[in-house]
Structure 1
Amino acid sequence: MAFSDSLGTARTVELPQGVVGYRECGDGPPVVFVHGLLVNADLWRAVVPKVAEAGYRCLAPDWPLGSHERAMGAGADLSPPGLAGLIEDFLAELELSHVTLVANDTGGALVQMLMARGSERVGRVVLASCDALERFFPPLFRPLSVLARMPGSAWLLAQVLRSRAVRGLPIAYGWLSHRPVPAAVMDSYLLPARRSAGVRRDLRRFLRGVHRRHTLEAAAAFSAYDRPVLLAWGEDDRLFPLSLAHRLAALLPDARVSVVAGSRTFVPEDRPEELGDLIVEFAHSTVSGGGR
């Protein structure tokens, strides 16, 4: 499970797909965080405290995207739509309502699929620089879905990412943030897949299902999505250009774009305080009811 104490108390919840670990802190309306591929809840370690201090109950799960410690059940649907369903199951199991969902990178694609389903538990959404439309994955990362069909590919990926030089390449973590990810945080991202065959199996199952048709199908339903959406986009994002945020905003009835200066894709790494402020201001200004 994510190691950062700033994320709060470590808890687990048993879902039909398996046991999901999460961190929780604060009281008030719920804010649930959704990270992307090959990271975990530690991505939010500098964002959660600011949001919790503003009067929100923050829940930061380790979703089964390759940096989680508990492998899911052998029969779990870990395709992108299946993981969108897992997020919905998490909200339902904890009886959360009027939730503010905050998502980054791959997690944003999953949340868009959940938006397309019209989940009544979601009150508002913050998408911080993420996959969308035809960019699921962005071009640099599309080979991952092909490689995932090869036996042993997840093990090989875990071994290759041992190298700091490889991690710094654009095809790894190199273009995701301006700020270097601390070594302890990077270990929390990469060690689970090295240590656990079950985690590697989960990673392959997800990667094999990634395809732009999922995000394009979700976008086709956005005209009916009437809840507020904030697109907090890194100004320097080289994987998801700012034009992508504006295209998304044009498809959504109630959306606005906030440009985050000095940030690439990992807005929670590059500008955590600004992202925290944006989440709090957005949640305050779009109150639609209390959460459990």
Structure 2
Amino acid sequence: MEIALGAGTVEYTDTGGPGPVLVFVHGLLMDGTLWDGVTASLTGYRCVVPTLPLGAHRQPMREDADLSLPGIAVLLAELLERLDLREVTLVGVDTGGALVQLLMATGDARVSRVVLGSCDAFDNFPPGLTGKTLFLTGKLSPGLFGLFMQQMRVRAVRRLPIAFGWLTKRGDAVSAAWLRPLLSQAGVRRDTVRALRAFAADPGVLQEVAERLPGFDRPALVVWAGEDRVMPLEHGKRLTALLPKGKLVEVEDSYTLLPLDQPVEFARLVGEFTAG
């Protein structure tokens, strides 16, 4: 499915049905397939999974689109409104968790509870070697950026700490597919460079957001990967402490991308939290 929004056309999947609404938000250089293993286990729920303009989208955005982190958060809020989604459980991991925090800070009325998987927070933006490398490559022209990213076709390069190596233990086949639009479409490369430059220009955005998180008085589940080498566990604890109704759960045998490394367990936690 697709929907025309202010910034451009956004693709999404929607399982439909009358069950509680779950909206899943992916991270940088990822698309909605991040969540396939999770949503497959969540029968009885309406799962909505957009592919946002974060570098793995297939339809380029408008040339005047705001692709800053706050701008993409506005796009996500517009999606919730246009689809008339209510009492939403908003679930994010990696950069998707940062976007969820932005909607929490604005008090979006359509969001009734949130799940923050291992994600960017506080001063960890850009996060880890992967984030720092991407922000640096964002200084290149879209053409040179595309040439640099061509090496990601090689599995050994994708598994490096500066790529996806510290983000997922088991998700290489999925992450390889995420790169195809970027490698094949000039418009997607242009969007990605614009987003990276906008992110780099506002490194303190999540520290400002954190100051407003204590005002989020709705249920919040923080799920952190026990072996995360990119998102510090201490940040999961700090996020939980800021949230009046926050609860922290650690999941073992996983790197940052819990939906790839532990999809069944992550789905169980999300389902139990939403049902509760």
Q: CA deviation at 1:153?
A: 4.2
Q: Aligned match of 2:105 in 107, 110, 116?
A: 116
Q: Aligned match of 2:11 in 18, 21, 25?
A: 21
- The answer to whether the 8 Å contact 2:56/2:179 transfers is yes
Q: Aligned match of 2:74 in 85, 90, 97?
A: 85
- The answer to whether the 8 Å contact 1:145/1:209 transfers is no
Which residue type is aligned with residue 24 of structure 1? D
Q: Aligned match of 1:126 in 94, 111, 115?
A: 115
What fraction of aligned residue pairs are identical, expressed as a percent? 45
Q: CA deviation at 1:180?
A: 4.1
Q: Deviation string for 1:169-223 (max 9, x for gaps)?
A: 00000011121422xx334301100111111111111111224311111101011
Q: CA deviation at 1:43?
A: 0.7
Q: CA deviation at 1:228?
A: 1.1
Matched residue, 2:150? 159
- The answer to whether the 8 Å contact 2:164/2:175 transfers is no
Find the residue that maps to 1:212 and give its secondary structure.
Answer: coil
Q: Aligned match of 1:190 in 179, 194, 204?
A: 179
Alignment of 1:239 with 2:239, yes or no, is no
Q: Aligned match of 1:277 in 255, 261, 268?
A: 268
Q: Aligned match of 2:33 in 36, 42, 48?
A: 42
Find the residue that maps to 2:182 and give its secondary structure.
Answer: helix
- Say if 1:153 and 1:79 are closer, same or farther in 2 by CA, change over 3 A: farther
**TM-score, normalisation: structure 2:** 0.95
Which residue type is aligned with residue 12 of structure 1? E
Structure 1 gap ranges (5+): 1-10, 286-292
Q: Distance in 2 between matches of 1:199 and 1:79?
A: 15
Q: Distance in 2 between matches of 1:26 and 1:275?
A: 21
RMSD (Å), alpha carbons: 1.3
**Following superposition, which runs of at least 4 residues in structure 1 exceed 3 angstroms of deviation?**
none
Q: Deviation string for 1:36-94 (max 9, x for gaps)?
A: 0111111111100212x1x2110111111111101111111010000010000000110
- Say if 1:66 and 1:238 are closer, same or farther in 2 by CA, change over 3 A: same
Give the stretch that moved more between structures: 244-253 or 149-158. 149-158
Q: CA deviation at 1:144?
A: 2.3
Give the stretch that moved more between structures: 23-32 or 75-84. 23-32
Q: Aligned match of 1:57 in 41, 46, 52?
A: 46
Alignment of 1:201 with 2:190, yes or no, is yes
How many matched pairs?
A: 271
Which residue type is aligned with residue 163 of structure 2? A
Q: How does 1:281-292 map to 2 (within 5 A)?
A: 281-285=272-276
